[in-house]
Structure 1
Amino acid sequence: MRIAALQMHAIAGDGEANLQRIAAAAADAAGGGATLLIVPELAVTGYGAGDAAFARLASPATGDIAVRLGAIAQDNGIAIVAGFAEREGARTYNSALFTDGIGTNAVYRKSHLYGDYERAVFEPGSPASVMVELGGVRLGMLICYDVEFPENVRRLALAGADLVVVPTALPKGASGTFIANHMIQVRAFENQVFVAYINHCGADDRFAYAGLSRIAAPDGKLLAEAPAEGETLLFAAIRPDDYATSRAENTYLVDLGRPA
């Protein structure tokens, strides 16, 4: 399976502009042979939109945003994973939607909120293994800070994920650079899964973003990487069978069930 990922400069608070950007990327990704497009955390609203804009733009799991993203997916013949603000009753979640535009939708809610900014607006989701299958590849979802807790990736790996998709909003700084340059490859290697970690770039009124989107393979090598600055559409081939040797040599998941 070939996937694409957009390191994106979202416009904070402008859902229409961001949806149009996602639609353009979907067309480019499909044109490049991809069957899945991944865009960042809260890509539809912009991460730095703030509580008033999140309240205005939040949409139910089957609401307007899901319908629009599903239409983009159907029009381009490509599945999409996109971050959005999800409303359920009086609660708002930092969520990611998978849609293939032809009937398969799944929503993951971020379980580990980062900092006072997120905690003031969003409710945490319960840690969950949200999984879908696309083109024979089993895909699990996390969001940003979730991936920094090794238990979350391990849970998906034990549930049978081949690919862990992580829309993110990683800020600029030494910590962010370390996470992108080291942690993502380790998460892939220690679980023998692919990890697609897809970030914003540029800045809004509240945050500056690190860029540095990555797609890592089970052997820890990078299949694709974006620079610190600028929008980039990444492509990578997700072929689990190519990494049978790596799984045979690095038997972490198997050895978890063996006596010490």
Structure 2
Amino acid sequence: MSVRARGLRVAVWQCGSLPGDIAGNLARLATAAERVDADVLVTPEMFLTGYDVGAVPGLDPAGPEFAAVAEVTRRTGVAIAYGYPEALPGGGIANAAQLVDGGTSVGRYRKAHLFGDLDATRFAPGSDFPVFELRGRTVGMLICFDVEHPEAVRALATAGAEVVLVPTANMAEYPTVSTALVPAHAREAGVAIAYANYSGTEGALDYAGLSTIVGPDGSALVLAAADGEALLAAEV
């Protein structure tokens, strides 16, 4: 009798923002990781500081904030992909995501497709689409507007990614990103996509919610409501 290989159990955390409260957001992240049954948990975009919060400090990707996340992954056994503003070696800041497992950084990604002035006036764009090994699977990361570009998803799939983890801060005006574009691009590239969004309001933005995990055939495995916090998981 053949035994089906175990997939990767992925969770998306849809939550409100605590603008500028890094300590408070780290505490919330620890609680979410303790609650979830998953291999990896994906937060929204710029989770540590909030997204529409004006100028933000660049954080050292190996600094105390990373150390706090790393300790959560050691203690809970849940890997975490979190969004944060990364201080660049030559100056400037990137809108970034970092994947951490067992107390170690698995890899980092910098948002390549900057969305309007809110991104372009604050961040330097990334240019690469790296993939990483996570618990026997190959994964990639994108951030928000990136996943709306099919060539970015295809680049990760071509590099071997089976799952794409996407911290996002998608606005209420664009609900079809969750319900149409993410499923279409997953199906086109043959990869699963985990898309974790904010809900509620932050600064001038109203967020769309609708966090989702989509299989490589484009089917929605989970889909959150437009409003309210949700912690959803599925095997992909």
So what's the TM-score if we normalise by structure 2? Answer: 0.93
Instruction: Quote the offset at 1:217 in angstroms.
Output: 0.5
Amino acid paired to 1:4 = A
Q: Secondary structure at the match of 1:215?
A: strand
Matches within 5 A, 1:84-233: 84-89=84-89, 90-126=91-127, 128-173=128-173, 176-233=174-231
Q: Which residue of 2 aligns with 1:256?
A: none
Contact in 1 for aligned 2:49/2:84 (Cα 8 Å) = yes
Instruction: Quote the offset at 1:62 in angstroms.
Output: 1.2
Amino acid paired to 1:81 = A
CA distance in 2, matches of 1:18, 1:208: 19
CA distance in 1, matches of 2:130, 2:66: 17
CA distance in 1, matches of 2:231, 2:104: 26
Contiguous gaps of at least 5 residues in structure 1: 239-260
Q: Among 11, 31, 55, which residue is 2:18 paired with? A: 11
Q: Secondary structure at the match of 1:48?
A: coil
Matches within 5 A, 1:10-89: 10-29=17-36, 32=37, 34-51=38-55, 54-55=56-57, 58-89=58-89
CA distance in 2, matches of 1:103, 1:12: 27
Instruction: Quote the offset at 1:149 in angstroms.
Output: 1.0
Instruction: Quote the offset at 1:101 in angstroms.
Output: 3.1
More strand, by proportion: 2
Amino acid paired to 2:210 = L
Amino acid paired to 1:115 = G
Instruction: Quote the offset at 1:17 in angstroms.
Output: 1.0
Q: Secondary structure at the match of 1:140?
A: strand
Alpha-carbon displacement from aligned partner over 1:32-61 (angstroms, at most 9, x marks no partner)? 2x111110100111112211xx12xx2112
Contact in 1 for aligned 2:69/2:100 (Cα 8 Å) = yes
CA distance in 1, matches of 2:53, 2:94: 14
CA distance in 1, matches of 2:153, 2:188: 9
Q: Which residue of 2 aligns with 1:245?
A: none
CA distance in 1, matches of 2:62, 2:138: 23
Q: Secondary structure at the match of 1:47?
A: coil
**Alignment length (residue pairs):** 228
Instruction: Quote the offset at 1:69 in angstroms.
Output: 1.0
What CA RMSD, in Å, does the superposition of the two structures yield over aligned residues?
A: 1.1
Q: Which residue of 2 aligns with 1:249?
A: none
Instruction: Quote the offset at 1:135 in angstroms.
Output: 2.3
Percent identical pairs in the alignment equals 39
CA distance in 2, matches of 1:204, 1:188: 29
CA distance in 1, matches of 2:45, 2:202: 14
CA distance in 2, matches of 1:231, 1:102: 26
Contiguous gaps of at least 5 residues in structure 2: 1-7
Matches within 5 A, 1:247-258: none
Q: Which residue of 2 aligns with 1:258?
A: none
Instruction: Quote the offset at 1:121 in angstroms.
Output: 0.8
Q: Secondary structure at the match of 1:228?
A: coil
Instruction: Quote the offset at 1:102 in angstroms.
Output: 3.3
Instruction: From the CA coordinates, give the structure whose radius of gyration is larger.
Output: 1
CA distance in 1, matches of 2:165, 2:11: 11
Alpha-carbon displacement from aligned partner over 1:182-210 (angstroms, at most 9, x marks no partner)? 00000110011101111001112221100
